[in-house]
Chains A and B, each alone.
Chain A
Amino acid sequence: DIQMTQSPSSLSASVGDRVTITCRASQGINTYLAWFQQKPGKAPKSLIYAASNLQSGAPSKFSGSGSGTDFTLTIRDLQPEDFATYYCQQYSSYPLTFGGGTKVEMK
């Protein structure tokens, strides 16, 4: 199975900040990587697919990059509605696997 490791597991940031979350795959996954946002008590929302493509309806403040084993999600101009937990997922091979999540908290 492909292991997905996210870092940090949590971070504190202020409104207006730019934050970057990293996701590392245990083996190469090309660009078969997605990012999801989840707020407490809510279902996940899809943000990014194919490592860098913005899901229709997702705000352009979210951007993704990377290929192979190392990926990043960047959120610019952090707003109150962006404080949430973010997950990466590889869909290169079965079983599909998620990272452990990164909780973005307000400083």
Chain B
Amino acid sequence: VQLEESGGGLVHRGGSLRLSCTTSGFTFSNYAMHWVRQAPGKGLEWVSDISVSGDTSNYADSVKGRFTISRDNSKKTLFLQMNSLRAEDTAIYYCAKESPWEVSYVDSWGQGTLVTVTS
């Protein structure tokens, strides 16, 4: 299982960024996927998840209405569109694959991509 995030970088407050997570080593279209983030020096925070087909998603209250998770099963890629970014969105963003036998439990993680929101 390989998960590789990209798209992070420096963005101004109020700006937008789109993260991608390219995958390999498993049948992407069979697994729900998640985004989890970690602010510098802080703990883990779950951000969002999306169902296999992409028709169902859930969000943390802190990002609801600003972030949108999506997926392209044909390209085995997960996305996170982040709008109206705030300083508190500064974090490493990890994509994670859900377990095939335990709903909502993530069993594999990418290495993360850093998002820095500046004022």
Q: A: which residues have CB within 8 A of B?
A: 1, 32, 34, 36, 38, 42-46, 49-50, 53, 55-56, 87, 89, 91, 94-101
B104 touches A43 (CB 8 A): no
Contacts of B36 in A (CB 8 A): 44
Given known A-B contacts A95-B61, A101-B43, A44 and B109 have beta carbons under 8 A apart: yes
B112 touches A91 (CB 8 A): no
User: CA of A50 to CA of B111 in the docked complex: distance in angstroms?
Assistant: 24
Contacts of A44 in B (CB 8 A): 36, 44, 94, 109
User: CA of A87 to CA of B72 in the docked complex: distance in angstroms?
Assistant: 30
User: CA of A49 to CA of B109 in the docked complex: distance in angstroms?
Assistant: 15
User: CA of A98 to CA of B47 in the docked complex: distance in angstroms?
Assistant: 11
A98 touches B112 (CB 8 A): no
